[in-house]
Amino acid sequence: MSTQRSEQGRRVAIVTGGSGGIGRAVAERLAADGQSVVIVYAGNKATAGEVVDAITASGGSAIAVQADVADEQSVEQAFDAAEREFGGVDVVVNAAGIMLLAPLAEMDLADFDRMHRTNVRGTFVVAQQAARRVRGGGAIINFSTSVTKLALPTYSAYAASKAAVDAISPVLAKELRGRDITVNAVAPGPTATPLFLRGKDEETIDRMAHMTPLERLGRPEDTAEVVSFLAGPARWVNGQTLYANGGLA
């Protein structure tokens, strides 16, 4: 692994969607691992600030930067802030995403476009900057979903947006040949976050929790543990989608 580090001696991670849900758990886990963290948030400055405060209170190092992940200039500025504050970028985690559900025949195409703008274009734009800027020994980690395998009703548009992530990640891994940078995707299963719980009744939540052999919903920390592995010691895992779903078929 490369020994390149920030001026403070830490690896530096950018986490999009880092102000809540799985993204927050990832940001806090990477900070606990000793990385300086740049939390990229869409609009909730107060929540992002709470994550920064939690990390710094625990002895970590973090800043928050507002950016629209689908806008290339906005993302470029976020990477500029990371380099200006911490001296470089070693890890990029694409955790920003939205999930809008409806049967295919009833999906509002404006919702379809909005979701694909964030989940597909956003992943592509962030990965593009990451490919240009991540230092040797670094890692790019995109977010997919286990729904691409499950084929659940109402998830067609969301699953399609995440299937694009599955396609982008191994191609980028090959394009970065010779630079000692890994590119992988993480595909969580049902996880107890506002993104998943919103709009679901207790019966649906309980049924989905019992779909796994472990008979519970995932916790954000479960996925953060997988990201920590890919962001640090997992140098021989590259171009893969890892299913972090408790054994969900």
- Residue numbers annotated as active site: 158
Q: What is the rounded distance in angstroms from the CA atom of residue 110 to the CA atom of residue 222?
A: 33
Q: What are the residues whose beta carbons fall under 8 Å from the beta carbon of 51, sequence distance 6 or more?
A: 18, 19, 24, 27, 28, 39, 62, 64
Q: What is the rounded distance in angstroms from the CA atom of residue 14 to the CA atom of residue 237?
A: 20
Helix ranges restricted to H, 1-62: 21-32, 45-57
* Contact (CB, 8 A) for 23 and 42: no
Going by C-alpha positions, the residue among 88, 29, 12, 69 that lies closest to residue 219 is: 29
* Contact (CB, 8 A) for 87 and 61: no
Q: What are the residues whose beta carbons fall under 8 Å from the beta carbon of 50, sequence distance 6 or more?
A: 19
For 100, the 3-state DSSP assignment is coil
Q: What are the residues whose beta carbons fall under 8 Å from the beta carbon of 106, sequence distance 6 or more?
A: none
Radius of gyration of the chain, Cα coordinates, nearest whole angstrom: 17
